Amino acid sequence: MTKIYPDGKLNEDDEGATTIAIGVENNSVVIRFQKLISWIGMDKASALAMAHSLIEKANLINTGTKQ
């Protein structure tokens, strides 16, 4: 929890920005969060970037490449 709100506080439960890492482990796409969270919200550009990253990582599965 950073208490940084890049697009303003979304609602009373909003705890601020967090870090997300997307990778591949043991033939699975894994999303790691900075801490335990119950939900995330993002703007259109961030959502599209996450979608592209998920597709990119999914395409690495069973190719022998890990990142």
| Interval 23-64: pLDDT, tens | 999 999 999 998 898 889 999 999 999 999 999 999 999 865
pLDDT value of position 21: 95
The stretch 10-24 carries a mean pLDDT of 89
DSSP result, 3-55: ---TT---STT------EEEEEETTEEEEEESS--S-----HHHHHHHHHHHH
Q: Name the band, by pLDDT with cuts 50, 70 and 90, for residue 1.
A: low
The pTM score is 0.76
Domain residue limits, the chain: 1-67
> Which pLDDT belongs to residue 48?
98
